Amino acid sequence: MLELLGMPTQASTHAADIDNMIALIHWLMAVLFVGWGIFFVFVLFRFRKSANPTASYSGAKGKVAKYTEYAVIVVEAVLLVGYAIPAWAIRVGSFPSESEAVVVRVVAKQFEWQVHYAGADGRFGRREVRLVAAENPIGLDRTDPDAKDDFVDTNNLTLPVDRTILIHLSSMDVIHSFGLVEMRVKQDAVPGMDIPVWFIPNRIGEYEINCSQLCGLGHYRMRGFLHIKSEADFRSYLDEQAKGLTQ
């Protein structure tokens, strides 16, 4: 079923779970639709006027429809209780602790993704609205000691493979949506809110960040890049960025 549906590459640990659920639901849909379809075509043919000139006042008898109804209820209940609610609880309820995860802040603005790293000290520096400018897109206050080693990468999110990633997502202007197709991650970035997102990428590669919520005339080109690197390559990326700061 999954191949038939043509879902994109799976590159995070929870992607397969989500895809399996989608496949399962499409099986339910297919069974119901084919069942209804066969019945529909049959009755249109069998009970056309020329084949059945006198209609039956009492109509259909039997309990097949009722049992189908019950079956649908049971399958939906299983999907809901067995898959959907627990799977969602893991996505939005059981966040990794900040000390174990790789923590990154992603700040959305028309029409780019600003990726804010805490640097070697692991602490994010203060941001001020009045400091926002073309050369300081998120308004980082460099006088704050915590901000000294912070760096910001525009439209590029670089992360290590097989590590738990915790992203704090926010927006500076309008609602955007942070979509990582291959990670099966999507989360609206809502101004005024800091929304955490977590996942574990398990496949090294070059991917993209989609903006999935209409955010203005540049929405269609609000694309970022996601680089999933080996631990060593990720280290060297961080070192390079740190070096860039001191120059």
Residues 48-77 that bind another protein (CB under 8 A): 48-49, 52-60, 65, 68-69, 72-73, 76-77
Interacting span for another protein (CB under 8 A) from 20-28, 97-105, 150-158, 235-243 = 20-28
> Which residue shows structure tokens 């399996």?
20
Both tokens of 129, joined, read 């609205």
> How far is the C-alpha of 61 from the C-alpha of 183, rounded, in Å?
49
Restricted to residues 67-126, the positions that interact with another protein (CB under 8 A) are 68-69, 72-73, 76-77, 79-80, 83-85, 87-89, 91-93, 109-110
Question: At closest approach, how far in Å is the CB of 166 from another protein?
Answer: 14
Restricted to residues 139-198, the positions that interact with another protein (CB under 8 A) are 139, 172-175, 177, 179, 181-182, 184-188, 190-193, 195
> How far is the C-alpha of 138 from the C-alpha of 243, rounded, in Å?
20
∠ CA 23-88-112 to the nearest 5 degrees?
A: 90
From candidates 3, 134, 232, 246, binder to another protein by CB under 8 A: 134
Both tokens of 58, joined, read 């009492």
From candidates 16, 36, 38, 240, binder to another protein by CB under 8 A: 36
> How far is the C-alpha of 180 from the C-alpha of 11, rounded, in Å?
10
Q: Is residue 33 close enough to count as binding another protein by CB under 8 A?
A: yes
Both tokens of 226, joined, read 């996601």
Q: Is residue 244 close enough to count as binding another protein by CB under 8 A?
A: no
Of 149 and 209, CB closest to another protein: 209
Of 24 and 242, CB closest to another protein: 24
> How far is the C-alpha of 139 from the C-alpha of 125, rounded, in Å?
10
- What is the pairing mode between strands 156-160 and 224-229? parallel
DSSP-derived secondary structure letter, 196 = E
Both tokens of 194, joined, read 């800091």
Of 207 and 234, CB closest to another protein: 207
Q: Is residue 44 close enough to count as binding another protein by CB under 8 A?
A: yes
Both tokens of 149, joined, read 């080693």
Question: At closest approach, how far in Å is the CB of 196 from another protein?
Answer: 9
Question: At closest approach, how far in Å is the CB of 165 from another protein?
Answer: 16
- Tell the burial category of 12 from Cβ atoms under 10 Å away from its Cβ (0-12, 13-18, 19+): buried
From candidates 108, 215, 228, 234, binder to another protein by CB under 8 A: 215
